[in-house]
Amino acid sequence: MPAVSPDLLRRFDVPGPRYTSYPTADRFVEAFGQEDYVLALEQRRSCAMAKAQPLSLYVHIPFCESLCYYCACNKIITRHPERATVYLRYLAREIALQTTHCGVGQVVSQLHLGGGTPTFLADAGLRELMAMLQRSFALAPGGEYSIEVDPRTVDADRLACLAELGFNRLSLGVQDFDAGVQKAVHRAQPAEQVFALLQAARAQGFDSVNIDLIYGLPRQTPESFERTLAQTVQLRPERIALYAYAHLPERFKPQRRIVSAELPAAAAKLEMLARALDAFIAAGYVYVGMDHFALPSDALAVAKRQGRLHRNFQGYSTQPDCDLIGLGVSAIGRVGASYSQNAKTLDEYYDFLDQGRLPVVRGLALTRDDLVRRAAIMAIMCQGELLFEPMEQAWLIDFRQYFAVELAQLENLAEQGLVRIGPESVTVSATGWFFVRGIAMVFDRYLQADRNRARFSRII
């Protein structure tokens, strides 16, 4: 375990992007619409090299039965299951439109269902969704097929259904095991329920189970969170995602129900993070980067060791860098040198599809500089090493000249022991991995010119 001093934690307690993309989604523009996205799909279809690469699919299921006050996701609170029936009908229309332009039978090596709560769909709904995807795409054997699960909506029988449908990875939303914290965020969830579910998932043979935790929630203390850490270590999931709560009530209406006075102070949050780092590393987890931990045998840890780690809109991935098609309300996709996002409200999403149009409302066509910087940022975020010569050969640049300002800024991080700057590379140190977002931010041209960073979550 490298030394992570309280001073470093305090210094990097600042907002910054998560870099699931570069440029980040806040840079998307409405000038990019359906016509631009269709062009990107058809260019992919006509390019043999692009077409030969497997796709990644993301499907957004926006519905939840109850509101979690901390949540910043695009969701719809409802107890009416018939709304999902209507939604699936429109998803089928969107899939048909997508395949009209990209072609039926494209190979898919990665599928992720997110939300909202994907398990809001009943077993019949999940079967219908998977059937429509399998009719339009070719899900590759051995692919990574994951789904986000609210433990309150799933039991052993439902896990058996998920396994039967081909899902091999689960992500369980836990956040905190403390009953007082759960009450403060309106998410009552007994620990026994989660333990039983993980045991059932292992019996079903899922390749990997991830547990989501959040620190900085109301009524949390370093002592209470340490108990949650101990229970998580006892569960021993293959992966752990540890997020800092970003309290932005002016942007996310549900957060206005959180009592600000009950939020832990900054010093307490830092102590929670420090205790979490100690607990997970001591338990044998590998720090993958960006809040993610994995057991050494998990595919994510193996990919990091072997330099095969990638990053997309779902976070770190073991799958090769590939185009991503986003399906459903607010879903984000990436095709070629472009990003796109669907309409954020159901009414608008449905209106587009009723007109026979793809529901793309904004996006971005990347410039050459965007592509160069994306390559640099992803090398930092995934491999922890930025090699000058491959960048020069790929983009026909003189690295030291192109990034002269950035290399000068990195000198300060080198003095803090976070990076090493050599004649041919920039390498993230073992300590630097804990602050990799801050290192990547140096290469973000938009962020360097924009000092309004409060819209981002904090780095730690």
185-237 residue pLDDT tens: 999 999 999 999 999 999 999 999 999 999 999 999 999 999 999 999 999 99
pLDDT score at 67? 92
Virtual CA dihedral for 428, 433, 436, 438, nearest 10 degrees?
A: -90
291 is in an annotated binding site: no
- CATH code where residue 444 lies: 1.10.10.920
Sole residue written with tokens 């006892």: 234
Q: What burial class does residue 53 get, using C-beta atoms within 10 Å of its C-beta: 0-12 exposed, 13-18 middle, 19+ buried?
A: middle
Percent of the chain having pLDDT more than 90? Answer: 76
Q: 272 with 131, same domain?
A: yes
Please provide the DSSP assignment of 63-90 as one string: EESS--TT--S--EE-S-THHHHHHHHH
Q: 29 with 71, same domain?
A: yes
What's the total number of domains in the chain? Answer: 2
Q: 63 with 191, same domain?
A: yes
Q: 403 with 443, same domain?
A: yes
Three-state SS letters, 203-214: HHCCCEEEEEEE
- Domain ranges, residue 423: 1-22+368-460
Contact present, 97 and 324 (Cβ < 8 Å)? no
**For residues 50 and 322, what is the distance between their CA atoms, to the nearest angstrom?**
9
332 is in an annotated binding site: yes
pLDDT score at 455? 56
266: closest CA among 258, 254, 256, 274?
274
Percent of the chain having pLDDT more than 70? Answer: 96
pLDDT score at 433? 84
182 is in an annotated binding site: no
Q: What is the pLDDT of residues 342-386, one digit of tens each?
A: 999 999 999 999 999 999 999 999 999 999 999 999 999 988 999
44 is in an annotated binding site: no
The answer for residues whose C-beta is within 8 angstroms of residue 192's C-beta and 6 or more apart is none
Q: 15 with 97, same domain?
A: no
Q: 1 with 93, same domain?
A: no
Within-domain flag for 357? no
List C-alpha distances in Å: 400 to 173, 388, 390: 44, 8, 13
Query: What is the overall mean pLDDT for the chain?
Result: 92
128 is in an annotated binding site: no
161 is in an annotated binding site: no
Confidence label for 119 from pLDDT (cuts 50, 70 and 90): very high
267 pLDDT exceeds 90?
no
157 is in an annotated binding site: no
Mean pLDDT score, 74-95 = 95
2 pLDDT exceeds 60?
no
pLDDT score at 17? 84
**For residues 203 and 252, what is the distance between their CA atoms, to the nearest angstrom?**
38
Among 223-232, 259-268, 332-341, which is the least confidently predicted range? 259-268
The answer for residues whose C-beta is within 8 angstroms of residue 152's C-beta and 6 or more apart is 189, 193
121: closest CA among 99, 148, 144?
148
Amino acid at the residue 66: S
1 pLDDT exceeds 60?
no
Cis peptide bond prior to 23, omega within 30° of 0: yes
pLDDT score at 450? 66
**What end-to-end distance do the CA atoms of the chain give, in Å?**
17
pLDDT score at 341? 97
Within-domain flag for 361? no
148 is in an annotated binding site: yes
19 is in an annotated binding site: no
Contact present, 211 and 189 (Cβ < 8 Å)? no
E strand or H helix that includes residue 450? none
Among 40-54, 87-101, 107-121, 248-262, which is the least confidently predicted range? 40-54
Among 159-168, 273-282, 325-334, which is the least confidently predicted range? 273-282
Mean pLDDT score, 91-107 = 95
Q: 18 with 29, same domain?
A: no
pLDDT score at 453? 52
**For residues 215 and 218, what is the distance between their CA atoms, to the nearest angstrom?**
9
447 pLDDT exceeds 90?
no
pLDDT score at 309? 87
71 is in an annotated binding site: yes
72 is in an annotated binding site: yes
175 is in an annotated binding site: yes
pLDDT score at 452? 54
Confidence label for 459 from pLDDT (cuts 50, 70 and 90): low
454 pLDDT exceeds 90?
no
443 pLDDT exceeds 90?
yes
- CATH code where residue 217 lies: 3.80.30.20
Within-domain flag for 341? no
Q: What is the pLDDT of residues 37-77, one digit of tens each?
A: 999 999 998 887 776 789 999 999 999 999 999 998 889 99
451 pLDDT exceeds 60?
no
Q: 224 with 301, same domain?
A: yes
Within-domain flag for 351? no
